[in-house]
Chain A
Amino acid sequence: MPCMLRVDILVKFKEGVDDPEGKSIKHALELLGFEKVKTVKVGKMYTIYLNCDKEEGYEIAESMVRKLLVNPVIHEYEIRVEEV
């Protein structure tokens, strides 16, 4: 019987693409005295539970990324799959 999988999909802007949310967070952190902040990048994490094995889990996650979660023009992503 397939076990339960936890799939974390992390989506953020590609290197070189402006991240205005990251910039304003950086500014706020600097005002709070965090002088060593060099860059802040903001992303989104989707946590999805699936009933399937790891291999199929990766395939399903890749398909979700392609069909909805990522715009390949501006985003890069990372998929982490873990049995739970």
Chain B
Amino acid sequence: MWITGTGALSCAGRNPGELWESLLAEKSGLIEGLGRVADLSPDAPADLALSMALETARQAMGQAGWSHLNEDDGIIIATTTGQILMWDQALLHFFKDQADPESFRRAFAHQPLGQLLNTLTESLGSRTPHRWLLTSACTASTQALIMGALWIRQKKVKRCLVGSVEVLCDLTVQGFRSLQLLSNETARPFDRDRKGINLSEGAAFVCLEGQNPGPRALAEVRGWGLTTDAFSMTSPEAEGRGSYRAMKQALETAKLAPNEIDWIHAHGTGSMHNDAAEGQAVRALFGAKSPPLTSTKAIHGHLLAASGLLETVIGVEALKRQTVLGTANVQNIDETTGANVLVKSEPRPLRHIMKNTLGFGGANAALVLSRVGDRA
């Protein structure tokens, strides 16, 4: 499977190039621990989720040279918030007897997360019936990319537009705060002085094709793994066994040995439980000589469902530029995690990289991305 187009919109940049420059310069887009996307086009739809998704989808499709989605193309979107900004305030007004039932009904029609998928597909001018919407928390967009690859392999669709979008809203901001996971300071993944995670909004899209697209190819999706902890609703299994199995599956489907992975882009949220479990999973799979591992969430924050795909776009840029990124804002590496944390960005030959993701509900997913032309 080949990635032929990417799009990214976050507090750290309006496209993959801007995001990459922010990452290299360690210029965080977070303000007081939250990452907001500002300055959308004046003619963008009022619906922030739809607006961000449309802009980012068009970036990816433009780069891939896709003018439209055909009826035998697929589209997969991942989100946990969807169009919540279109209905959450209406619900609150309704509770306070400040909204009439009809206006509330109209607003509340946006509540099913899948509604975003239909609106986006139609806004892209497509009538494809091949539409999936995944909601598996922070793992959703990595799952979406994997499912897109499998969908194409099974010849159910010819190409697939895979995207993800998240908005900041009361539900997630106050919800994560209630779990005491949020930090008002910029996150410090894998740092022993970590304070918590930073939520952010944004979108990421990739165009996925099954037949070798020649010079249009940006990277190859070569391996994948999907597993579940069955342990806790909100914490990963303490030793990271589920994450270990996902990364192991990804190596097996890629037909690669652990020592052939040149870089790991970690989930690295900066929560104590995530860092510990992910570090142990990496150590168990790759051993003492594990490849360097990086979290970039101090720059763009945690985009929840969109994080895996945004970080996949970063991985594509890293392969293209043959450069690994450092873990911004880390000062005192937490050695107890066992991870080989990379602090500073540097040029480095990259053939194969691992993107790892963990999520609430115990969902794990891992990807192996390869440089174009590196299939043995």
Q: Do A and B bind each other?
A: no
